[in-house]
Amino acid sequence: MAGMGCVERATRAELRALKISVQTSILAANAVSLARQIDVSRGAVAAAAASLQLRQTRADLIAEAEKQPERDVIDDLNARRAARRAAG
């Protein structure tokens, strides 16, 4: 996490808590990019614009996460077991 600013670190932590990956969600990747822009911004106008966009993206991510069914370790194990049975 070296080289990351505080907004990017907080955004990544929130994405982990929401169980949303930047590898699979363009919204998540966009949120991290906006957070990085805020961290490196030298002007108040640019930071404010990025902050507004991050706020909306964050709301969209939370809504997306709420639509996903809650999964736990047992669910993941059962899914892997079913996949093994289907494969062999």
Q: Is 3 left (phi over 0), alpha (psi -120 to 50) or beta?
A: left
How far apart are alpha carbons 58 and 13 in whole angstroms? 12
**Residue 8 CB neighbour total at 10 angstroms:** 21
**pLDDT, mean of residues 11-30:** 94
Full-model pTM? 0.74
23-32, 37-46, 55-64, 71-80: segment of lowest average pLDDT: 71-80
pLDDT digits (tens, 9 = 90+) for 45-68: 999 999 999 999 999 999 988 888
User: Does 2 have pLDDT greater than 70?
Assistant: no
- In order of 24, 77, 78, 80, 87, the CA distances from 83 in angstroms are 21, 10, 9, 5, 6
For residues 20 and 64, is the Cβ–Cβ distance under 8 A? yes
